[in-house]
Structure 1
Amino acid sequence: NYLRPDIKRGNFTEDEERLIITLHASLGNKWSTIAAHLEGRTDNEIKNYWNTHIRKKLMRMGVDPLTHQQ
């Protein structure tokens, strides 16, 4: 996005993914609050990544993505 040159491009790192999972466990779907902890990532980008990658990954591991319990 040329209007926001501070926005990161490209894939999420493993550290970012772990941080999203940790923050989601304590904050739930408060994407803008989670985005405040990830420099250069937007709330919408994080929400979309959660729904398309992380949630499915947790389910494959036998972890409930809502409660974060096995």
Structure 2
Amino acid sequence: MRASSEAYINVACHCSEYLPVPMNSISNSSINDKKSCVTCRHFDTDRCFCKIDLYDRIVRNHQIDEDE
């Protein structure tokens, strides 16, 4: 991963374009409620980056520590 799990959570919480990945019909509320870049439709999990290029801007604007 490019950043820590905590950084991905912080970025997703500040992202106005966050779209959760649709889950199967079986719902696990602990997974569905977890807002993170890795659970966003705009996140490329293979290459660990935001497809709409918002990650770096959010980190910079909200002074998020990527190594938390």
Q: TM-score, normalised by structure 1?
A: 0.29
Higher normalized helix content (fraction of residues): 1
The one of the two structures with greater contact order (alpha-carbon pairs below 8 A, sep at least 6) is: 2
Answer with 1 or 2: which has the greater Rg. Answer: 1
Relative to total residues, which structure has the larger strand share, 1 or 2? 2
